[in-house]
Amino acid sequence: EIVPLKHRSGDAWWEEERYPEGIKWKFLEHKGPVFAPPYEPLPENVKFYYDGKVMKLSTKAEEVATFFAKMLDHEYTTKEIFRKNFFKDWRKEMTPEEKSTITNLSKCDFTHMSQYFKAQSEARKQMSKEEKQKIKEENERLLKEYGYCVMDNHKERIANFKIEPPGLFRGRGNHPKMGMLKRRIMPEDIIINCSKDSKIPPPPPGHKWKEVRHDNKVTWLVSWTENIQGSIKYIMLNPSSRIKGEKDWQKYETARRLKKCVDKIRNQYREDWKSKEMKVRQRAVALYFIDKLALRAGNEKEEGETADTVGCCSLRVEHIKLHPELDGQEYVVEFDFLGKDSIRYYNKVPVEKRVFKNLQLFMENKQPEDDLFDRLNTSILNKHLQDLMEGLTAKVFRTYNASITLQQQLKELTNPDDNIPAKILSYNRANRAVAILCNHQRAPPKTFEKSMMNLQSKIDAKKEQLADARRELKSAKADAKVRRDEKSKKTVESKKKAVQRIEEQLMKLEVQATDREENKQIALGTSKLNYLDPRISVAWCKKWGIPIEKIYNKTQREKFAWAIDMAEEDYEF
Ligand SMILES: *[C@@H]1O[C@H](CO)[C@@H](O)[C@H](O)[C@H]1NC(C)=O
Ligand SMILES: *[C@@H]1O[C@H](CO)[C@@H](O)[C@H](O)[C@H]1NC(C)=O
Ligand SMILES: *[C@@H]1O[C@H](CO)[C@@H](O)[C@H](O)[C@H]1NC(C)=O
Ligand SMILES: *[C@@H]1O[C@H](CO)[C@@H](O)[C@H](O)[C@H]1NC(C)=O
Ligand SMILES: CC(=O)N[C@H]1CO[C@H](CO)[C@@H](O)[C@@H]1O
C-alpha cells in the first residue's frame, strides 16, 4: 500500500552555476558590482495624500511609495494580489505613526507623485545633446571600470555588473508574489569570488562584503540572495567570453552523448514501469515524462516556497486528469499546472498503457493536494540520472530533444528552390516547432495588432506600387511595338526589372507577415539561446548560403562565436 511521504512544500533544491569538470580558471580579478544609486527624496512640492489630506512620508516609506507611483498606470496596480503584497511590504517600511494612520491602500493617492515622475521622464526625453552626452560618458566610464575582469591572461566582458535597483516584484503570469518589495541590495549581501592573489575589490566606504571567496570552479564573480524567491543571483562573464563559450559547447556535447545512450535509457525505464518497488516505478514514469514531454525536474532554484509552480517531481494529484479514452484516443493524460515563471502548462497526451495504469496506482487513496510521485524528489531523480549517464540532468533531455527536433524540422521544411526570405521562414518555423515542444509560450505583445496593421498597410502600398509598375510595363511594351527603336526596348527592359524588384519586395513583406502572425504566442528566444545547438543553425546557414546575420543578431552572434568559428560543413547533431 502507498503511504504518502510528508508533503515537501518548501524544500529547495538548486544547483550552483558551476563549470563542468575540467574548466577552471587560475587568475581572476575584478572590481565588484556597481550598486544602484541611493534614493533621492522627492522635492517638497510633490505631495502624497491619504484620505484626501496631504501627508509627509518618512524617507523609507516614501521610497517604497514611489515604486508604486511609478507603476500607477500599469494594470498591475489594480490587481488584488499585487495590491495586497505591496501594502503588506510597504507597511513594514513605515514609522509607527505612519503605520497607524495608513491602514487602507484605497485611500492612498499617488497621482501627484505619478505626475511628477511622468514629467521627469518627459524632461529626460527633452534633454539637450550635452546632457545626453554627459550621461553617455558616465556609462562608458562605469563600463570601463567595472565592465571587465581579467581571467587568466584575458580581459573579458562582464555580463551584468550593475545590481538591479530596488522596486516591486512583477513576476510573469499571475505570480502570487507580485507586488512584494524587492529590497535594495547592500554590500553586506554580497559574496565576492576572485583569486587570492588578485586585488580584492574594496567594499564601498563604511561597508563590508558578506564574504570573499576564492573558488575557481564556479562561474560567477559576485553573488547574493534576492529576497522575493530566495534565489541566488550572480554576476557572470559575458556569454561571448572564452570560458562561457566552452561551457556552452560542453552542454551540447553532453546532449550529443545522450543521443548515443538514449535508447538504452528508454528500454530501462520501460522495464522499471513493472518494478516491484514503488519508488522505482515512480522514478521511471517521471523519467518518461521528462523524456517525452520535456518537463522540468522540478523544485528548482527559481521556485519559491509559495509560488505554486511545479516541475515533474513536484506534480500533485490535482495537476493531472486521467482519461481512459478521449477524443478517439486511448489512455490520455491531461496536464494542467503552473510551470517555471508561472507559465501554464496545459497538454493532453496519449501515453502508453502501462504508464497510465501506473498513474492510476499512484493516485489511489490520495487527496488532490498530495504528491503524485510521493516516493520521489528532485535529488533522487537527479542522482538516478547521474547514474544513467555522467552529466545527465532533465535539462539535457530538453537540449537533446530540442536540438535534434530542430535538425529534423530543418531537413523537412527547407525547400531547396526557395529564395532566402522563404528559407528563413522555414527556419523560423523549425524554431517554432521546438519552442512549442518546450512550452515557451508568451502573451501576444501589446503592440502586436498595431505592428501587424503597419505591416499590412506596407503590403497594400506595395501591391499598388506593383500594379502601377505593371501598367507602366504594359504601356512601354505597346509603345515599343509601335516605335520599334532601341530606346523603347531599353525602357521595356528597365520596367520589367522594376516589376521584378517590387514583386520580390512584396514577397518579402508577405513572408514577414506570415512569420509574425505565426510567432504571436510563441517566444523563440529562449530555445534559440538555451536549447538549440548553434552548430546546427550555422551548418544550415552555410549549406544554403544564408548570411548568419539573418538568424542571429549581434548579441547572439557574440554568444555563439565558438560555434560560428568551428561548425564543420557536415555537422550533425
Ligand atoms: C478602504 O477605502 C475605500 C475607499 O475609501 C473604501 O471603499 C473601503 O471600504 C475601505 N476599506 C476598508 C477595509 O476600510
Ligand atoms: C522529442 O519530443 C517529442 C514530444 O514528446 C517526441 O515525440 C519525440 O519523439 C522526441 N524526439 C526525440 C528524438 O527524442
Ligand atoms: C529526497 O528524498 C531522500 C530519500 O527519501 C532524502 O534523503 C532527501 O533528503 C530528500 N531530498 C530533499 C531535497 O528533500
Ligand atoms: C537580440 O535578440 C534578443 C532576443 O533573442 C534580444 O533580447 C536582444 O536585445 C537582441 N540584441 C540585439 C543587439 O538586437
Ligand atoms: C559557493 C562556492 O562554492 N564557493 C566557493 C568559493 O570559494 C571557497 C574557497 O575556495 C570554496 O570553498 C567555495 O566552495
Nearest CA to ligand 1 atom 14: 104
What values do phi and psi take at 444, rounded to 5?
-55, 135
DSSP calls for 115-168: HHHHHHHHHHHT--HHHHHHHHHHHHHHHHHHSEEEETTEEEEBS--BPPPPEE
**Pocket lining: 299 vs ligand 3, CB cutoff 6 Å:** no
One-letter amino acid for residue 312 of the chain: C
One-letter amino acid for residue 195 of the chain: S
pLDDT of 391 higher than 80: yes
Q: Could you tell me which residues come within 8 angstroms of residue 335 by beta carbon, excluding any fewer than 6 positions away?
A: 293, 319, 320, 345, 346, 347, 348, 349
- What is the number of the ligand closest to the CA of 234? 5
When the pLDDT of each residue in the chain is averaged and rounded to a whole number, the result is 87
**Pocket lining: 404 vs ligand 2, CB cutoff 6 Å:** yes
Eight-class DSSP state of 312: S
One-letter amino acid for residue 340 of the chain: K
Nearest CA to ligand 1 atom 6: 106
Nearest CA to ligand 2 atom 10: 401
Q: Ligand 4 mean position to 302 CA, how many Å?
A: 23
Catalytic residue among 288, 531, 552, 571: 531
Taking residues 513-526, what's their average pLDDT? 82
Return the pLDDT at 347: 86
From 526, 529, 553, give the residue whose CB has the most ligand 4 atoms within 8 Å, as the site to mutate.
553
pLDDT of 12 higher than 60: no
Strands 211-213 and 191-193 turn out to be parallel
pLDDT of 14 higher than 60: no
Return the pLDDT at 149: 87
From 555, 557, 558, 559, give the residue whose CB has the most ligand 4 atoms within 8 Å, as the site to mutate.
555
pTM assigned to the model: 0.62
Q: Ligand 3 mean position to 7 CA, how many Å?
A: 12
Q: Name 67's bridge partners.
A: none
- What is the number of the ligand closest to the CA of 84? 1
Strands 232-236 and 329-338 turn out to be unpaired
Taking residues 372-387, what's their average pLDDT? 90
Give the model's confidence band at 570: pLDDT under 50 very low, under 70 low, under 90 confident, else very high. low
Q: Name 152's bridge partners.
A: none
**Pocket lining: 436 vs ligand 3, CB cutoff 6 Å:** no
Cell triple for 229:
524567491
Lowest mean pLDDT among 134-138, 159-163, 466-470, 502-506: 159-163
Q: Ligand 3 mean position to 531 CA, how many Å?
A: 29
pLDDT of 7 higher than 60: no
Q: How far apart are CA 77 and CA 71, in angstroms?
A: 7
Give the model's confidence band at 218: pLDDT under 50 very low, under 70 low, under 90 confident, else very high. confident
Is residue 518 a contact partner of residue 550, using CB atoms and an 8 Å limit? no
CA dihedral 251, 256, 257, 263 (to 10 degrees): 130
Nearest CA to ligand 5 atom 12: 215
pLDDT of 125 higher than 70: yes
Higher pLDDT, 347 or 84: 84
Q: How far apart are CA 17 and CA 23, in angstroms?
A: 13
Return the pLDDT at 514: 87
pLDDT of 435 higher than 60: yes
Is residue 89 a contact partner of residue 105, using CB atoms and an 8 Å limit? no
pLDDT of 19 higher than 70: no
**Pocket lining: 553 vs ligand 4, CB cutoff 6 Å:** yes
Return the pLDDT at 306: 47
From 87, 107, 108, give the residue whose CB has the most ligand 1 atoms within 8 Å, as the site to mutate.
107
Handedness of CA 386, 392, 394, 397 (dihedral sign): negative
Return the pLDDT at 464: 96
**Pocket lining: 232 vs ligand 3, CB cutoff 6 Å:** no
Is residue 265 a contact partner of residue 388, using CB atoms and an 8 Å limit? yes
Active site includes 531? yes
Nearest CA to ligand 1 atom 3: 106
Q: How far apart are CA 170 and CA 443, in angstroms?
A: 15
Alpha-carbon distances, residue 290 vs 17, 55, 372, 562 (angstroms): 22, 55, 15, 29
Ligand 1 site, CB within 6 A: 104, 106-107
29-47 per-position pLDDT tens digit? 888 899 999 999 999 999 9
Q: How many CB atoms lie within 10 A of CB 406?
A: 25
Taking residues 450-457, what's their average pLDDT? 92
Taking residues 43-64, what's their average pLDDT? 95
Q: How far apart are CA 357 and CA 361, in angstroms?
A: 6
Burial 35-68 (b: 16+ CB within 10 A, else e): beeeeeebeeebbbebeeeeeebeeebbbbbbbb
> To the nearest whole percent, how much of the chain has pLDDT over 70?
92
Return the pLDDT at 216: 75
Return the pLDDT at 17: 46
Give the model's confidence band at 27: pLDDT under 50 very low, under 70 low, under 90 confident, else very high. confident
Taking residues 521-550, what's their average pLDDT? 88
Q: How far apart are CA 195 and CA 182, in angstroms?
A: 31
- What is the number of the ligand closest to the CA of 431? 4
Higher pLDDT, 1 or 190: 190
Q: How far apart are CA 558 and CA 7, in angstroms?
A: 45
Taking residues 115-133, what's their average pLDDT? 93
Eight-class DSSP state of 317: G
**Pocket lining: 437 vs ligand 2, CB cutoff 6 Å:** yes
Q: How far apart are CA 277 and CA 284, in angstroms?
A: 11
Q: Taking the CA of residue 570 as centre, how many other CA atoms within 13 Å lie in the half-sphere pointing to its CB?
A: 0
Give the model's confidence band at 2: pLDDT under 50 very low, under 70 low, under 90 confident, else very high. very low
338-364 per-position pLDDT tens digit? 877 777 788 899 999 999 999 999 999
Higher pLDDT, 168 or 440: 168
Give the model's confidence band at 55: pLDDT under 50 very low, under 70 low, under 90 confident, else very high. very high
Taking residues 386-393, what's their average pLDDT? 91
Taking residues 72-101, what's their average pLDDT? 95
- What atom of ligand 3 comes closest to residue 13's alpha carbon? 13
> To the nearest whole percent, how much of the chain has pLDDT over 90?
56
- What is the number of the ligand closest to the CA of 279? 3
Alpha-carbon distances, residue 301 vs 230, 254, 294, 380 (angstroms): 8, 22, 18, 16
Q: Considering only the C-alpha atoms of the chain, give the largest distance between any 2 of them, rounded to a whole number of Å.
A: 98
Q: Name 220's bridge partners.
A: 236
Lowest mean pLDDT among 297-311, 437-451, 464-478, 510-524: 297-311
SS3 438: coil
pLDDT of 569 higher than 70: no
Give the model's confidence band at 495: pLDDT under 50 very low, under 70 low, under 90 confident, else very high. very high
Nearest CA to ligand 5 atom 6: 215
Q: Where are the alpha helices (DSSP H) in 441-485?
A: 448-483
Return the pLDDT at 561: 82
